[in-house]
């Protein structure tokens, strides 16, 4: 299974920090947010590749440069896809060729830190959608977050 990690966007809600670097590279305890996400995702054996969708301008190049040579650390292939500023749907369409052989894939936003039990999410999704091609979507309401966390 591949993961599409969306790391484009303007980062307008993260200003003034995002004036100097992409939101995904804003550090927490000395490491960028995206670093935590990729290290977490990489722990799951069924993840074969991480597709990072980012702009190929100066901000996006910072992400590309950060991960240059780090594939050996996380033991997963990282592929960069250019974000052509067409929104989330447009970003996913840019990944279409890389995802053509995958029946399901995971979409993750590069500024979302959460520790989902991906094994369980994939099993549950697979059980629900055995006989159809429905689009999967994970939604959590803020007031239910504690209950959701306890269930994992």
pTM for the full predicted model: 0.79
* Nearest by Cα to 38 from 97, 106, 100: 106
Q: Is 129 found in the same domain as 69?
A: no
Domain extent, residue 134, equals 117-152
User: What is the residue whose two structure tokens read 């550090």?
Assistant: 27
CATH code of residue 22: 3.90.550.10
Three-state DSSP class for 65? helix
**How many residues belong to the chain?**
152
Q: What is the pLDDT of residues 5-25, one digit of tens each?
A: 999 876 777 677 777 788 899
Q: How far apart are CA 100 and CA 2, in angstroms?
A: 11
Q: Are 74 and 106 part of one and the same domain?
A: yes
Examine the domain organization and report whether 93 and 130 are in the same domain: no
Same domain as 91, residue 33: yes
Residues 87 and 143 in one domain: no
Residue 4: the pLDDT is 92
Kindly report, residue by residue over 81-107, the tens digit of the pLDDT: 998 877 777 788 888 889 888 878 888
How far is Cα 118 from Cα 124, in angstroms, rounded to an integer?
Answer: 10
Q: Does 48 share its domain with 60?
A: yes
Q: 3-state DSSP call for residue 77?
A: strand
Q: Based on the domain organization, do 88 and 122 belong to the same domain? A: no
Task: Assess whether 131 and 61 both reside in one domain.
Answer: no
Q: Please check whether residues 15 and 79 belong to one and the same domain.
A: yes
Q: What is the pLDDT of residue 134?
A: 54
Looking at the structure, tell me whether residues 77 and 95 fall in a common domain.
Answer: yes
The number of domains in the chain is 2
| Strands (DSSP E) found in 13-147 | 27-28, 31-32, 49-54, 77-82, 105-109
- Which three-class secondary structure state does DSSP give residue 96? helix
Same domain, 136 and 105: no
């Amino acid at each position: 299974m591949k993961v599409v990690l969306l790391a484009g966007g303007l980062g307008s809600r993260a200003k003034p920090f995002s004036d100097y670097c992409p939101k995904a590279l804003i550090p927490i305890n000395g490491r960028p947010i995206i670093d935590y996400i990729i290290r977490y995702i990489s722990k799951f054996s069924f993840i074969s590749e991480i597709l990072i969708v980012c702009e190929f301008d100066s901000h996006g190049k910072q992400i590309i440069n950060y991960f240059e040579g780090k594939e050996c650390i996380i033991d997963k292939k990282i592929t960069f896809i250019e974000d052509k500023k067409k929104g989330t749907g447009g970003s996913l369409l840019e990944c279409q060729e890389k995802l053509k052989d995958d029946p399901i894939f995971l979409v993750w936003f590069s500024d979302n830190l959460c520790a989902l039990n991906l094994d369980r999410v994939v099993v549950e999704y697979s059980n629900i959608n055995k006989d159809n091609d429905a689009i999967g979507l994970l939604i959590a309401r803020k007031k239910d977050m504690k209950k959701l966390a306890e269930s994992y």
